[in-house]
Chains A and B, each alone.
Chain A
Amino acid sequence: MTVIEAAGLTKHFSARRGVFVGKPGTVRAVDGVSFAIGNGTTLGIVGESGCGKTTTAKLVLGLEEPTSGSICFEGRDLRQLDAAGRRRYRKSVQAVFQDPYASLNPRMRISAIIAEPLITNEKVTAGQARHRVDELLELVGLPAHAADLFPHEFSGGQRQRIAIARALALSPKLVVLDEPVSALDVSIRAQILNLLRDLQAQLGLSYLFIAHDLAAVAHMSHTIAVMYLGKIVEMGEARALARAPKHPYTEALFSAALPSHPDERREEVLLPGEVPSPIEPPSGCRFHPRCPRAFTRCAGEVPALRNLEGRLVACHLYDAAETDPAPLPLMAAQIMRT
């Protein structure tokens, strides 16, 4: 059973440049992205900054309206939901953001912060809300007296626990984790990631986990999607994808991650240049100007995501193999089941 399914999700921002200079450009932040997240599973999205990870998260959270494409929640298209349906969606999808110093209102007590989603969406008495706050604090491993303190009295890791408690207040089905550990000390990261995994096992949560830390994504996710300039270039089962990346970009990305052992030697793939501007993405495959294995076809033709040994890859290198471009959401769902 999939919780959420995105099909051909696209978000363009218009970028006005000078008053006198040229035509208005369009930033293709997210361009035809499809994925599905199953009940109790995690989809990890990785990519460099500016690849559209965070915009994808905002689309799922309803903070941005998609330019085109659809999001289905439990089989129903969000755009066709009535007011009650939208409210149910909002209650089912919550978020934890990157910066624990910016995500808690400095002027509110912890109890008010955690209870806010509850009070906003449900008719609860002060006593019930307080009881739920105590429950949630215990769930994320914080002492009960934390409820009466202010955010500045906590460390980064504790603040992130508070943010998680708040996200869980409504017992959501899906939690969008937008770089939840990037701002934390390395020593705290593992604690928070393990807490998130425990909570997933305990509460049957689904996660949309967005990060640029590959080790964290590989540790957390069931499925990984790799994004480059607004498009998914490779998506598949987490461990297989991390062990044997197929797309040259995925290869480069994973070779750049630190090995788990200092003596471990691996082949380094160095990418020349910078991520190109999403206002004028390169023709054909968007990765071809930096790709170490590009050939003529890459510049002219956009590679489609194709099923390759149970994985989706968008690369002309694998065109020779007998593959068919299949309807993407369907295939994404298939991959989720395996």
Chain B
Amino acid sequence: MSIPAEIARRSSPLAAVRKVRMRDYPVIPLAILGIVTLVAIFANQLAPHNPEVGILTARFKPPFWQHGGSTEYLLGTDQLGRDVLSRLIFGARISMVVGFTAVIFAGALGTFLGILSGYLGGWVDQVVMRLTDTWLALPALTFAIFLAAIVGPSMWNIVIILGVTYWTRYARVIRGEVLALKEREFVRLAIVAGCSKWTIMRHHILPNVINSAIVLGSLMLGVVIIAEATLSFLGVGVPPPQPAWGLMLSDGKQGLMVGYWWLTVFPGLGIMLLVLSANLLGDWLRVKLDPQLRQL
């Protein structure tokens, strides 16, 4: 009797939908990332106010549904009378731009050094690996703060700092992949065919590690976004008056004690949802694309 029931349950249309939705695509993370991306791209069209200029007479207005709020400022205003929603929208742009470019920069640097280290071996390997050991021994965020203090705050400096801080994970993972790859027969055959080391690295090694680099990149996206928010929160990240989410948190934290909760809750939610989505998407990609990385 239990068998027909089982079949019925499995073949019900609802079960099929649930299976596809839940197992094959991380719908919610993809939707959140998609929305944030669109918001970042069309920030100029979407934002109702200038995010950097406020009206001082309209300070600390609460969101529209609370007493004293108005639909003019949907999510209220901050201590300088700037619209929180507009700052949130432009903040999404900063988070996405910094996140993606820093991940790409770290990925390019780490993948390049990982391939060199793994394929050439010898002293190159020693130098790169000792360098990553040193890097990993330093607490990443402290190191980033240190660098930011040296080069001074600006959005593109943050990109470079985060890239320089987080390339080591790529180098490690990619080197491991290359070590396995270079023993494969097609690499040996390329040597027999007379290919130069450079050609082998470019045509035979790189295309075969790019999958892992992408998976790692999606996992790093969340880490980098939260690192940017942290730096901005600490005042060594994106300089004011640019509306980075971390900066909004930092500016709003004093207001928390006197009930201005909307200054911190909205950017906090934004960071949380974005990082969570990036991580969930990364996890899914890892399982989907690269079974070898499951242990990472």
Contacts and interface: CB of A to CB of B under 8 A. Distances in A.
B192 A95 contact: yes
B70 interface: no
Contacts of A94: 192-193
A236 B92 CA distance: 77
- Interface majority SS (helix, strand, loop, mixed), chain B: helix
A177 interface: no
B193 A61 contact: no
B208 A120 contact: no
11 contacts: A94-B193, A97-B185, A102-B184, A103-B184, A103-B189, A107-B207, A108-B207, A116-B193, A121-B193, A121-B194, A170-B193
Given A61-B192, A93-B192, 7 more contacts: A95-B189, A95-B192, A97-B189, A103-B185, A117-B193, A120-B193, A166-B193
Contact of B194 (A87, A97, A163): A87
Interface string A101-116: 0111111100000001
A46 to B, nearest CB: 21
A105 B207 CA distance: 9
Given A106-B208, A108-B203, A90 B194 contact: yes
Given A107-B207, A108-B203, A102 B194 contact: no
Interface string A85-103: 0010011011101110011
Nearest to A107: B207
Interface string B189-205: 11111110001000110
Nearest to B211: A107
Interface in B115-136: none
Interface residues on A, range: 20 to 34
A105 B193 contact: no
Interface string B18-61: 00000000000000000000000000000000000000000000
A221 B229 CA distance: 70
Listed from nearest, the 9 A-B pairs whose CB atoms lie closest are: A117-B193, A107-B207, A103-B185, A97-B185, A102-B185, A105-B186, A90-B194, A120-B194, A102-B184
Nearest to B207: A107
A120 B189 contact: no
Contacts of B199: 120
Nearest to B186: A105
A119 to B, nearest CB: 9
Nearest to A169: B193
Interface of A: 61-63, 87, 90-91, 93-95, 97-99, 102-108, 116-117, 120-121, 163, 166, 170
Given A105-B208, A106-B208, A90 B195 contact: no
Interface residues of B, number: 16
Contact of A99 (B185, B193, B204): B185
Contacts of B188: 63, 95, 97
Contacts of A97: 185, 188-189
A66 B150 CA distance: 53
A104 B204 CA distance: 10
Interface of B: 184-186, 188-195, 199, 203-204, 207-208
Nearest to A117: B193
A98 B193 contact: no
A93 to B, nearest CB: 8
A131 to B, nearest CB: 19
A97 B186 CA distance: 9
A62 B192 CA distance: 8
Nearest to A86: B194
Contacts of B203: 105, 108, 116
Contact of B195 (A87, A93, A116): A116
Give the most central of B194, B195, B207: most A CB within 10 Å: B194
A104 to B, nearest CB: 6
A126 to B, nearest CB: 16
Contact of A103 (B186, B194, B195, B207): B186
A166 B204 CA distance: 15
Contacts of B185: 97-99, 102-103
A62 B189 CA distance: 11
A61 B203 CA distance: 21
Contacts of A104: 186
Nearest to B193: A117
A249 B204 CA distance: 42
B134 to A, nearest CB: 24
Contacts of A62: 192
A39 B226 CA distance: 68
Nearest to B208: A107
A75 B184 CA distance: 32
Contacts of B195: 116, 120
Contact of B189 (A106, A121, A166): A166
A105 B199 CA distance: 13
A252 B207 CA distance: 47
A119 B102 CA distance: 37
Nearest to A94: B192
Contacts of A93: 192
Nearest to A61: B192
B192 A90 contact: yes
Contacts of A102: 184-186
B178 to A, nearest CB: 14
Contacts of A87: 194
A117 B189 CA distance: 9
Contacts of A116: 190, 193, 195, 203
B198 to A, nearest CB: 12
A120 B195 CA distance: 6
A87 B192 CA distance: 11
Contacts of B194: 87, 90-91, 117, 120-121
A106 B191 CA distance: 17
Give the most central of B191, B193, B194, B195: most A CB within 10 Å: B193
